[in-house]
Amino acid sequence: MIETTRTFTPDWVSPPGDTIADILEERDWTQVQLAERLGYTTKHISLLINGKAPINEETALKLERVLGSTTAFWLNREAQYRAGLARIEEENRLKGWTSWLDQLPVKELMNQGVIPKCRLIAKNKPGLVKKLLQFFGVASPEDWQNYYAGMEVAFRRTREEQSDVGAISTWLRLGEIKAEQLDSPKYTKPKFEKAVRQIRTLTVLPPEEFEPQMQKLCWEAGVVLVLIPSIKRAHVSGVARWLNPHKALIQLSLYGKTNERFWFNFFHEAAHILLHDKENIFLDEWNSGESLKSKQERQADKWSREFLIPPEYEGELTKLKSENDVIDFAERISIHPGIVVGRLQHDHLIDPSWMNGLKLRKSIFKA
């Protein structure tokens, strides 16, 4: 395992008063004498030497005149001391926050290179807490709870199993970071509607051709499209959300093994952007297990389903009995045959094991 780099960070700091005391000893002065020379009370000198009273600009000027060195030296000495105290306090806080790590997919983030690899032992945990606070862009686990875990009230889920808020918020944050690097134009609904229609024509292309084109088309309409590998226990295939009133995000995890799921997920999320409000965060998983479909989810499902295979063609689906039939039909309506196979399987018109050779596998996609 690669250990995090550890620097020498002593659990003590020397106050500027130590330097003052050393000079007094060299000159054989008492604190009373120093108080008289500086124009301070002996109590204030005692507080100064013990680090209880700070050295401000006025005191630094007086120390320069009475003890020597420079004003900058005394102010820097004070600043270093206060920074050292803050560091020790911070380390103590980080030690008290290590239980927060249990809520997060720490090892997976290590494997993805988001945080340094190290053993999850006591001496490394405070450093990991600090790295993860920086990753989430929050000051404390409480602030993470209020912001990211607090997003849970806005989640519109499709399954009960989406209960690991730590995993979900980590996946969402990875998408945010990637989206923050892209300064897109303001969202325009007509442009996005046009972009979505153009993207449908790309389903017949291989990923290395359609991915950059669909990302560009979305970006030009004010929608950032990012592909983020799935996080264990998040059970999320995609999300549609608004990063601000003018910038939308579609984030796909490639959760699922084949291209028809990828395309259904994309158009499902696009439907949320086009049809629904900007307040909710729509988390979606490929339909599996107990469904928690809201009205908005049912609308997005219907929109995606009918956008890929328009209703006027549905009557022909029952007549598709061979791979050649599917290929001919897909070519006629300008979509990939794997999408048609997925629809036939979903509607129980063919067995789930049939015609899977017409689908493209997940391994061909890049994240």
Question: With contact defined as beta carbons under 8 Å apart, do 201 and 335 qualify?
Answer: no
Of residues 255 and 123, more confidence is placed in: 123
Residue 45 has pLDDT above 50, yes or no: yes
Residue 252 has pLDDT above 70, yes or no: yes
Residue 156 has pLDDT above 80, yes or no: no
pLDDT in tens, 65-108: 999 999 999 999 999 999 999 999 999 999 999 999 999 999 99
Residue 365 has pLDDT above 70, yes or no: no
pTM summary value: 0.78
Average pLDDT over the chain, rounded to whole?
87
Q: How confident is the model at residue 5 (pLDDT cuts 50, 70, 90)?
A: very low
Torsions phi, psi for 283 (to 5 deg): -95, 130
Q: Taking the C-alpha atoms of 335, 338, 340 and 345 in order, what is their torsion angle to the nearest 10 degrees? A: -160
Residue 363 has pLDDT above 60, yes or no: no
Give the SS3 label for residue 361: strand
pLDDT at position 331 is 96
pLDDT at position 290 is 45
Among the ranges given (144-158, 176-190, 262-276), the one the predictor scored with the smallest mean pLDDT: 144-158
pLDDT in tens, 213-239: 999 999 999 999 999 988 888 778 889
Question: With contact defined as beta carbons under 8 Å apart, do 326 and 320 qualify?
Answer: yes
**Averaged over 34-43, what is the pLDDT?**
96
Q: How confident is the model at residue 150 (pLDDT cuts 50, 70, 90)?
A: low
Q: Taking the C-alpha atoms of 276, 280, 283 and 284 in order, what is their torsion angle to the nearest 10 degrees? A: -20
Among the ranges given (124-138, 168-182, 208-222, 326-340), the one the predictor scored with the smallest mean pLDDT: 168-182
Distance of CA 159 to the CA centre of its chain: 21
pLDDT at position 286 is 45
Distance of CA 28 to the CA centre of its chain: 60
CA–CA dist 304, 336 (Å, integer): 15
pLDDT at position 186 is 94
Report helix angle 295-308 to 189-200, nearest 10.
Answer: 50
The Cα angle at residue 229 between residues 224 and 232, in degrees rounded to 5: 130
Q: How confident is the model at residue 4 (pLDDT cuts 50, 70, 90)?
A: very low
Q: How confident is the model at residue 338 (pLDDT cuts 50, 70, 90)?
A: very high
Distance of CA 215 to the CA centre of its chain: 19
Torsions phi, psi for 350 (to 5 deg): -140, 165
